[in-house]
């Protein structure tokens, strides 16, 4: 019988807790936004969402699934001991929700009349992030289909990190908004880009560390 309880090391739980925390603010903001849309309360700030609710509703629901399911896909112990769940969640929850997050994000980017502070630069950044997220997810799927599990993991880390820029952007914008007030167009662009760039850098550091750890383990074996 292999029904012994799974011991997940504390640092893995800490990783999942950190990722869930990172997701929490945009997810809660999204839930509040859904509530406002359901009430049909149209203000200058919400008119684009109320007038065309489909992409934002798809975006927020899929972001919820993507960010929360994704937080647990990266725990090595759960992945090894519950490989079937990992495969099920990846195939039927994470990849589909990731595709919907990115496509609905690109859709809103093209269709919504954004506030003046969200200028052309931010539209270009959002376009690049949406397309790269789709490309990274595709690379993750192609690699797992070919049995290249390490590459699969690396591409999934990249896709998750980039999409989750939405969480890091709270950290890269809030302190400045509190200190200096609402940003102008350039400051807003820098605050948003900082979230995506920071996440992309952290993803590359994690991927390189994993490669190094494997090389060390192989050398010692």
Q: Contact, 152 vs 140, CB < 8 A?
A: yes
Which residue number, 15 or 166, has a Cβ lying nearer to ligand HEM?
A: 166
**Centroid of chain to Cα 164:** 3
Task: Give the DSSP H or E segment for 145.
Answer: helix 120-145
Q: Contact, 112 vs 48, CB < 8 A?
A: yes
Among 16, 19, 30, 203, contact with ligand HEM (rule: CB under 6 A): 30
Q: Does 15 bind ligand HEM (CB under 6 A)?
A: no
Cβ-closest residue to ligand HEM?
Answer: 105
The CA-atom distances, in angstroms, between 170 and each of 120, 173, 191 are 21, 5, 9
Q: Contact, 63 vs 26, CB < 8 A?
A: yes
Q: Does 26 bind ligand HEM (CB under 6 A)?
A: yes
Q: Does 27 bind ligand HEM (CB under 6 A)?
A: yes
Whole-number Å distance between alpha carbons of 70 and 75: 10
Among 58, 75, 129, 137, contact with ligand HEM (rule: CB under 6 A): 129
Binding mask 44-83 for ligand HEM (x = CB under 6 A): ----x----------xx--x--xx----------------
Name which of 117, 120, 100, 8 is nearest 55 in CA terms: 100
Q: Does 126 bind ligand HEM (CB under 6 A)?
A: yes
Interface with ligand HEM (CB under 6 A): 23, 26-27, 29-30, 33, 48, 59-60, 63, 66-67, 101-102, 105, 108-109, 112, 114, 126, 129-130, 133, 163-164, 166-167
């Amino acid at each position: 019988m292999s029904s012994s309880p799974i011991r997940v090391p504390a640092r893995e739980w800490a990783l999942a807790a950190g990722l869930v925390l990172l997701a929490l603010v945009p997810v809660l903001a999204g839930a509040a936004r859904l509530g406002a849309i359901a009430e049909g309360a149209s203000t200058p700030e919400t008119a684009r969402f109320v007038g065309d609710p489909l992409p934002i509703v798809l975006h927020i629901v899929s972001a919820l699934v993507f960010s929360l399911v994704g937080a647990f896909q990266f725990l090595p112990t759960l992945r090894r001991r519950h490989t079937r769940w990992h495969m099920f969640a990846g195939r039927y929850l994470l990849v589909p929700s990731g595709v919907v997050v990115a496509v609905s994000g690109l859709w809103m980017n093209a269709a919504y009349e954004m506030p003046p502070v969200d200028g052309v630069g931010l539209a270009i950044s959002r376009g690049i992030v949406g397309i790269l997220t789709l490309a990274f997810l595709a690379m993750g799927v192609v690699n797992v289909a070919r049995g290249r599990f390490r590459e699969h993991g690396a591409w999934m880390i990249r896709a998750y990190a980039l999409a989750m820029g939405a969480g890091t952007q709270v950290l890269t914008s809030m302190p400045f908004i509190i200190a200096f007030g609402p940003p102008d167009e350039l400051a807003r662009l820098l605050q948003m880009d900082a979230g995506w760039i920071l996440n992309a850098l952290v993803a590359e550091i994690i991927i390189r560390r994993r490669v190094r750890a494997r090389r060390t383990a192989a050398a010692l074996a």
